[in-house]
Chain A
Amino acid sequence: MDINAYIQSGVIESYVLGLSNAEETAEVETLRKQYPDVDKAIDEFSLSIEEAAMQNAIAPPAEIKQKIMAALEKERQVPHVVSVLNEDKKEVPVVQLASTYNWKMIAAASVILFIASSFLNYYLYHQYNSNKEAYQALLSERETLQVNNQMYQTQLKEWQLAAMMMADTGMATVKMHSLKGKDDAATIFWNKQSKDVYVMVNKLPEPRTGKQYQLWAMVDGKPVDAGLLDPSCVSVCKMKNIPKAEAFAITLEKEGGNRAPNLKAIYVMGSI
């Protein structure tokens, strides 16, 4: 360490004037023991401050001294621990008893307070945890409700669309029924102008995994692919545009559909 640079850094002056922080103060106090120059610099600056203060001294009003000396006289009469020890040994045990009694009281009180505060802490912590859990549960419940709500809104919109289609006089409807006498059923909505085809599933069994329903239009006695039924579509689903058809049918095909229908797996069919 360059001790001269340290001495000239201004840290000594700020230490003497009481402007250094705790860290700097500790540093200066350590270094002054190691380096006589640091010690000397502290003394020199202290002395020059003292001299400057002396030169600029202002005499206080004379009565202040009397007041101070009178106040100190009173202080002296208040039994200090020090003076009691020095002057009268008989009083010592009395004072000590009183003070140990006080200490015991204080210690007991602080132990009680500590235990009480531990219980309180434990209770509050417990309370906090259970509230936190309840809050988390509420949060996840709210999330579920929100998701459900959104789902219902979408479904409602779809059904509103379906209702509009059913009411639409420009829409031809074709009821498709099971050929095997089951109550499976689906309805085709066929826009007479645009020839767009929509299908609404009234009742069909859940397809097995790897299978998907496919809509076919019979055009001149030949099946034409009219699109796959999207499993996520719950009401009226838009299918392919079919300009001309005599009948519609739904078959169960492999997922992704087939080019030609599996005629053994016709679920519902209806002719125009």
Chain B
Amino acid sequence: MLLLKQRHEHAFSYLYDHYSGSLYSVIVSIVPDRELANDLLQEVFIKIWRQIESYDNAKGRLFTWMLNVARNASIDAVRSKNFQQSKNNRELTENVYDEGGSIQTNTDKIGLRKIVHRLKDDYKVLVELSYFEGYTQDEISKMLNIPLGTVKTRLRTALIQLKQVIKS
């Protein structure tokens, strides 16, 4: 850890070898576009490199911290890309279907998202919207027309079930 904090190259190389696969699986479960996912993986590791000093062992595992960095970066990217696309769509309506050419992943079958698919539909949708799409509980409450309190308790139940699914 100390080596990492001193930005030791070998330590960082080890960190990449050890964690890039699991972080990549999280990124591709949020971002369907593989090219964008590849860029994000780079961005995430560079962020980890820059911010390693702000990571505090006492606050949790290194992986948990890196996972949150990866998740936040992916959600941000999807959101700004969606924004960009909706802007392009307005300008170039006929080109919408030609867009891209890069491989699109079916995010549902990937990594952690695969586990979430073992949950009941009611629970699945809450985990999907909050964890993989980054909506706040307030936004979800409005989208699904469910009271905020219900969203909160149902999401917590969903997470407890998720924990059991992971353990089994």
Chain A residues whose CB sits within 8 angstroms of the CB of B54 once the complex forms = none
Chain A residues whose CB sits within 8 angstroms of the CB of B21 once the complex forms = 54, 57-60
* Beta-carbon contact of A10 and B28 below 8 Å: no
Interface residues of B in 69-115 (CB under 8 A from A): 71-72, 110-112, 114-115
Chain B residue total in the interface (Cβ 8 A): 48
> Is A1 located at the chain interface by the 8 A CB criterion?
no
- The smallest C-beta distance from A14 to any residue of chain B, in angstroms, reads 6
Chain A residues whose CB sits within 8 angstroms of the CB of B71 once the complex forms = 18
* Beta-carbon contact of B163 and A71 below 8 Å: no
Name the segment of A62-70, A117-125, A204-212, A250-258 touching the other chain: A62-70
Given A18-B72, A60-B24, does the pair A46, B64 have CB atoms closer than 8 Å? yes
Chain B residues whose CB sits within 8 angstroms of the CB of A47 once the complex forms = 61
> Is A16 located at the chain interface by the 8 A CB criterion?
yes
A-side interface mostly: helix
List the count of A-B residue pairs having beta carbons below 8 Å apart. 122
> Is B150 located at the chain interface by the 8 A CB criterion?
no
CA distance A225 to B156 in the complex (A): 91
User: 1/0 contact trace for A1-45 toward B, CB 8 Å?
Assistant: 000000011110110111101000000010000000000001101
B163 interface neighbour in A13, A29, A43, A69, Cβ under 8 Å: A13
Chain B residues whose CB sits within 8 angstroms of the CB of A71 once the complex forms = 42, 46
CA distance A67 to B49 in the complex (A): 14
* Beta-carbon contact of A60 and B156 below 8 Å: no
* Beta-carbon contact of A53 and B22 below 8 Å: yes
* Beta-carbon contact of B64 and A58 below 8 Å: no
B61 interface neighbour in A13, A50, A56, A61, Cβ under 8 Å: A50
Q: Which of B17, B38, B61 has the most CB of A within 10 A?
A: B61
> Is A164 located at the chain interface by the 8 A CB criterion?
no
Taking residues whose C-beta sits less than 8 angstroms from the other chain, chain A's interface range is: 35 or more
> Is A76 located at the chain interface by the 8 A CB criterion?
yes
Chain B residues whose CB sits within 8 angstroms of the CB of A49 once the complex forms = 63-64, 67, 112, 166
CA distance A172 to B65 in the complex (A): 106
A71 (CB) vs chain B CBs: closest residue: B46
* Beta-carbon contact of B63 and A10 below 8 Å: no
* Beta-carbon contact of A8 and B160 below 8 Å: yes
- The smallest C-beta distance from B87 to any residue of chain A, in angstroms, reads 28
CA distance A53 to B160 in the complex (A): 17
> Is A96 located at the chain interface by the 8 A CB criterion?
no
CA distance A13 to B12 in the complex (A): 28
> Is B141 located at the chain interface by the 8 A CB criterion?
no
CA distance A10 to B160 in the complex (A): 6
A17 (CB) vs chain B CBs: closest residue: B131
CA distance A67 to B158 in the complex (A): 39
Nearest first, the 4 closest Cβ-Cβ pairs linking A and B are A10-B156, A57-B21, A13-B159, A53-B22
Q: List 8 A-B contacts (CB under 8 A).
A: A13-B160, A14-B156, A46-B63, A56-B114, A60-B20, A60-B38, A72-B9, A75-B46
Interface residues of B (CB under 8 A from A): 7, 9, 12-13, 16-17, 20-26, 28, 38, 41-42, 45-46, 49-50, 59-61, 63-64, 67-68, 71-72, 110-112, 114-115, 130-131, 137, 155-160, 162-163, 166-167
Known A-B contacts: A57-B22, A57-B25, A58-B110. Give 8 more (CB < 8 A): A10-B155, A16-B64, A46-B61, A48-B167, A58-B28, A65-B20, A68-B41, A72-B12
